[in-house]
Amino acid sequence: MADKDLAAQQEARDAVEAASFAFKTVAQLSQSKIDEICDVMSRAALADAARLGKMANEETGFGKAEDKFEKNRFAAEDVWNYFRDLKTVGVVKDTESIVEIASPRGVVAAIIPSTNPTSTAIYKIIISIKSRNTIVLSPHPSAAKCIAETTRIMREAAIKAGLPGDAITCLTNSTIEGTETLMKHKKTAVILATGGTGLVRAAYSSGKPAFGVGPGNVPVFIERSANVAKAVSDILTSTCFDNGTICASEQSIVADSPIADQVREQFKAQGGHFLNSSEADTVGKILQTPQRTLNPGIVGKSAAFIANLAGISIPDGTRCLIADCGGVGRDYPWSIEKLSPTLAFFVADGAEQGRVAVRKYCNSAGWDIRLGCIRRIVPQLSGLAS
């Protein structure tokens, strides 16, 4: 184990040094060349989106292959199309009072999670190269193969288009020590960290500029004026997509009291199954570990799988398990981020009570700073000199 840790640390150091050397070339590329390289990487990732989605599903056991394909397609096509025309070279804004010039930062350390491994790798590679930075990816150990394959596909396409080979690297030794070495290396300029709370905190405390995407634990308030059928449909579509592995998907429902019964009926009609108190307690025990952290054994699993694991029976065709929840915090397992098609259910009387309930839920969740949108991260990866 010690030898593996040492090998991982050395690999990380070598990768950053090589990426730093490649950065000298990448930083001088023209806007047209950068866009050409990103375009061919996007098309290469898109061509293999289905295969990579299947690989991710089979390697991690999380989610659904067809949904991971869609996430890959979105990252490779929609995200790229959204900011492909964004200027990241030279003068990007010129007014009477200020001139903004995009200046790349250097080596990007990209920490890739197991829940959304291939899609996260795709967009982090594209946004790093788009902003004329180089990138070293540190894959989650349980998703190392699919992340490495994603990197290989995009790297080979980029090299053919003129990008230095060391501009994109994926570490082969996945250890905590290797990741820490990557983040703290003196030539690492920016960290893009996607993962658990501990990882994101480590990124923030590394002494480097860091953009962290940690736990989400998203609540949603259904107000009395809402189109209940549509609201429920949208929530189920979101929380059931890829079996709930996206941290931005809903984890709890706060229903306005005048329509609470209607909300319940719509969930039942659209594939949600409300557990009785005994069943909810039984499932709650497997949502958490004895240390009261999220049980990885239920992440990205179907409602049927979770019910079977808990030893309870549910109707055929159940899309999502739902339980009334008496409070918020670690003493209430249903209120934690579950990353599965499971929802906690609360009732509040009016928008003000709903706001208080949602705020209490968010505060209890201890949310980390999140990446708001892809459009904003690309300029932030470039220092703007006036």
Strand residues in 52-124 grouped as ranges (E): 90-94, 99-104, 107-112
Q: Which residues are catalytic?
A: 247
> CA-to-CA distance for 18 and 111, rounded, in angstroms?
18
Q: How many CB atoms lie within 10 A of CB 297?
A: 13
Euclidean distance between CA atoms 302 and 321, whole angstroms: 9
Report which of 52, 58, 53, 60 is spatially closest to residue 296, judged by C-alpha positions.
60
First to last CA, the chain: 49
* Widest pairwise Cα distance in the chain: 69
Bridge partners of 272?
320
CB 133 within 8 A of CB 104: yes
Q: What's the order of all strands across the beta sheet hosting 272-274?
A: 218-222, 250-256, 342-348, 320-324, 272-274
3-class DSSP state of 186: coil
- Alpha-carbon separation of residue 360 from 122, 273, 332, 336, 363 (angstroms): 35, 26, 14, 13, 5
Degrees to nearest 5, angle at CA 300 with 294 and 306: 75
For residue 49, give the amino acid letter: A
